[in-house]
Structure 1
Amino acid sequence: GLDIHFVRVTQKTRKNEKKEAILFLHGWPGSFLEYLDVARRLNSSSNTNYDLIIPSLPGYGYSDAPVRPGMNPTQIARIMQNLMQRLGHSSYIVCGGDWGAIIGTSMAQLYPGHVRGLYVTLLVSSMTWKHYIQLALGHYISPSLLLDNDEQEFLINRYSPSQYAKYLWQESGYFHLQATKPDTIGYALNDSPIGLAAYILEKWSRWSNNETDIDQSINSGLDRFTLDQLLSNVVLYWTTGTITSSMRLYFEYFSQALSGDDDKILNGPLAASVPVAVINYRNELIYIPRAIARAKYPNIKLWLYHTTGGHFASIEKSQEYVRDIEKFLLQF
């Protein structure tokens, strides 16, 4: 088996006193460091007794890297379920963005009796040709065909089809590279700390500030984070030598999707018994309208918009992130 690194933030309580267990799952190019401030705020801002578990995904940070092919999001979901069971939690909340949202969604599909709530900042929903037609009709003919009133401005001004196509063209090259040839770029990045920093920080820049062209901003959005936050994450990748193993998750996911082996998990809906919170940040990579999201997430209890914030919201907007978690917990 693999050794899985995790941080546990908990409070001392009386014997048999119930705790609210929350599993935080990071993505790429992030790490467990993304959730440390959230954990600190949760632990100090509420009367609830929390047991907060923040693991490093396999191949990331201090967790072992897989030595055999096949470590896709579904397999990681099983590992995370085993981790929570070993820590004594048969029922827990899962919070995540990026890969964390994909893995958390898989956990909710595989273990609806254990995942008592799913909180995501990036939706995972397979878009069919019917959905793309809906998007086009909603944008060019009548937004009310697809969008609620509070969605219309959020989607039309930020995610029009033409804007979104341009954005994907400019920003999705990394995905194709990492989904097909992760080791090639990995060897290069492991050979140069400057190259590694440039590769990672470019993602933190654009995925937090996609409303401004890079050449129009001096820092391109990196001032939303402290230097310590940015460099701690880069140094973690450098000192552990995990940039290559972290990028292999894209290859495994792509292989899984093409094989069709886990089609029901990747494309099927969650059980209606699992409540879901969807938190939308304006500078997030992807936005999926609520009408489409309901097909995969039938029990959406909380759907919120933030006019600022992006892909790394747990660091950039940690106070709002915690507040939204607490709102979600009041829903059930």
Structure 2
Amino acid sequence: MTQSAAVPAHDAVPVGDGTIRPFRIEVPDAVLADLRDRLARTRWPEPVPGTGWDAGTDTAYLRELCAYWQDGYDWRRHEARLNAHPNFLTEIDNQPLHFLHVRSADPDALPLVVSHGWPGSVAEFLDVIGPLTEPGPDAFHVVCPSLPGYGWSSPVREAGWGPARMASALAELMDRLGYARYGAQGGDWGSIVSTELARAHPSRVAGLHVNLLIAGPGPDDDPADFTDAERASLARMRELGRDEAGYLRQQATKPYTLGHGLVDSPAGLASWIVEKFRGWSDCGGDVESRFTRDELLTNITLYWVTGTAHSAARLYYENAHTVSPTAGQRVEVPTGCAYFPAEKLGTPSRRWAERQYNITHWTDMPAGGHFAAMEEPEALVDDIRTFFRPLRGK
């Protein structure tokens, strides 16, 4: 499968003309046939007897998932669900940018740009877009971009696409859409890109809402004063660094070494992604207790048909090799944090966060993990509404 066959619509975006064009996701039949053929020819490793998830993705589970992907999963049904929302393409800073733009019927709705992370996509937000746009006092016009290098925003064309440059592209997008004032929301890289957006454009960002916030103790903090929750957070981060950070080191140092395999092998791609959905969610070790197979495979298939696994991984490399012009600056925009208890990458400490953010809203959620919009969509929507309610008229 060639990249051009996987993403033919990218050529329809003129370089630098600044227009916004309606876009329809239409993956060629040949790409889907090629996917099924590759799955049928997968070479499977032979794990040590008794090995489950402790050494990585469980082979027995992955074989079942890929068998369903080959013979049972219907991409066209989920493609139609994505196309049920208005999709658009534009080009910003010499980079195609795909986004969903779903306007509320309420003319007074607050624009809200919602950003995904890795290994997610715009498919994460399919259960929250409708509720967020419902007419009423808490209505939003939702803009949901595929970050540059992800999905139909295509592989990045040049180096330098770190979080700050992505935030600049989102600011330009909102300007093109005519939104002078808006909210920003995100998790994972979406939270970091949204933070950069809030730092760089505080007069335009009405509020920043995140479901991942990374903040640690300062050099003068006395460990004896840490709360039990703070100690648990630090222990979890140490565990993450010891047992769970291999993906981060690889993608931050040699993303293309990994990327060649991810773009060539659908089984390899599924293994790389599904392990994170299991490990980072509130699933108790059973990934399908939180996500259906179709939900998992829609997100994975999105990476496959666009040929963007290598480019998405490159964001870690760019972040490690670029410095934001606003690095170290405190976020003065009102900030809300929804902390989901199974989130392994963030911190539950409001006092640490307040040193870096103007925290005006904090919610300790009863359940859920890293993929909040998929795991606990109603709770996330309610928290977003509550946070932005006092900010709408300012």
TM bracket (short chain): 0.7 to 0.9
Q: Give the superposition deviation at 1:51.
A: 1.1
Q: In the alignment, is the contact (CA less than 8 A) between 1:281 and 1:306 conserved in 2?
A: yes
Q: What SS does structure 2 have at the residue aligned with 1:267?
A: coil
Q: Which residue does the alignment assign to 1:193?
A: 266
1:147-169 deviation line (CA, Å, top 9, x unaligned): xxxxx4x445x42x444422321
Whole-angstrom CA distance in 2 between matches of 1:197 and 1:84: 33
Whole-angstrom CA distance in 2 between matches of 1:306 and 1:12: 30
Q: In the alignment, is the contact (CA less than 8 A) between 1:269 and 1:296 conserved in 2?
A: yes
Q: In the alignment, is the contact (CA less than 8 A) between 1:97 and 1:122 conserved in 2?
A: yes
Whole-angstrom CA distance in 1 between matches of 2:135 and 2:143: 17
Residue correspondence of structure 1 range 62-141 to structure 2 within 5 A: 62-125=152-215, 128-130=218-220, 133-134=221-222, 136-139=223-226
Whole-angstrom CA distance in 1 between matches of 2:354 and 2:139: 31
CA gap 1:127/1:106 in 2 versus in 1, 3 angstroms: farther
Whole-angstrom CA distance in 2 between matches of 1:28 and 1:164: 18
Q: Give the superposition deviation at 1:129.
A: 3.2
Q: Which residue does the alignment assign to 1:249?
A: 315
Q: Give the superposition deviation at 1:189.
A: 1.3
Q: Which residue does the alignment assign to 2:369?
A: 310
CA gap 1:165/1:11 in 2 versus in 1, 3 angstroms: closer
Q: Which of 354, 369, 376 pairs up with 1:294?
A: 354
CA gap 1:269/1:244 in 2 versus in 1, 3 angstroms: same
Q: What SS does structure 2 have at the residue aligned with 1:311?
A: coil
CA gap 1:84/1:192 in 2 versus in 1, 3 angstroms: same
CA gap 1:128/1:254 in 2 versus in 1, 3 angstroms: farther
Whole-angstrom CA distance in 2 between matches of 1:69 and 1:167: 29
Structure 1 vs Structure 2: percent identity of aligned residues?
35
CA gap 1:155/1:113 in 2 versus in 1, 3 angstroms: same
1:140-185 deviation line (CA, Å, top 9, x unaligned): xxx3xxxxxxxx4x445x42x4444223211111101100000000
Q: Which of 330, 339, 345 pairs up with 1:269?
A: 330
Q: Give the superposition deviation at 1:126.
A: 6.6
Q: What SS does structure 1 have at the residue aligned with 2:360?
A: strand
Q: In the alignment, is the contact (CA less than 8 A) between 1:95 and 1:119 conserved in 2?
A: yes
Whole-angstrom CA distance in 2 between matches of 1:189 and 1:127: 37
Q: Give the superposition deviation at 1:19.
A: 2.7
AA at the equivalent of 1:300? I
User: Which runs of 5 or more structure 2 residues have no equivalent in the other structure?
Assistant: 1-93
1:86-109 deviation line (CA, Å, top 9, x unaligned): 001010000001111101001111
Q: Which of 204, 226, 229 pairs up with 2:277?
A: 204
Greater CA drift, 62-71 or 313-322? 62-71
1:307-328 deviation line (CA, Å, top 9, x unaligned): 3100000110000011001111
1:237-278 deviation line (CA, Å, top 9, x unaligned): 01111000000000000011xxxx43x62322012xx11101
Q: Give the superposition deviation at 1:9.
A: 1.2
Matched, 1:239 2:305: yes
1:181-231 deviation line (CA, Å, top 9, x unaligned): 000001011111111101100001000148x5xxxx4x2x33201222111
CA gap 1:268/1:126 in 2 versus in 1, 3 angstroms: farther
Q: What SS does structure 1 have at the residue aligned with 2:97?
A: coil
Q: Which residue does the alignment assign to 1:327?
A: 386
Q: In the alignment, is the contact (CA less than 8 A) between 1:61 and 1:236 conserved in 2?
A: yes
Which of these two proteins has the greater Rg computed from alpha carbons?
Answer: 2
Whole-angstrom CA distance in 2 between matches of 1:254 and 1:242: 19
Whole-angstrom CA distance in 2 between matches of 1:301 and 1:69: 36
Aligned length: 297
Kindly report the root-mean-square deviation, in angstroms, between the aligned alpha carbons of the 2 structures: 1.9
Q: Which residue does the alignment assign to 1:223?
A: 289
Q: Which residue does the alignment assign to 1:43?
A: 133
Q: Give the superposition deviation at 1:65.
A: 2.5
Q: Give the superposition deviation at 1:40.
A: 1.1
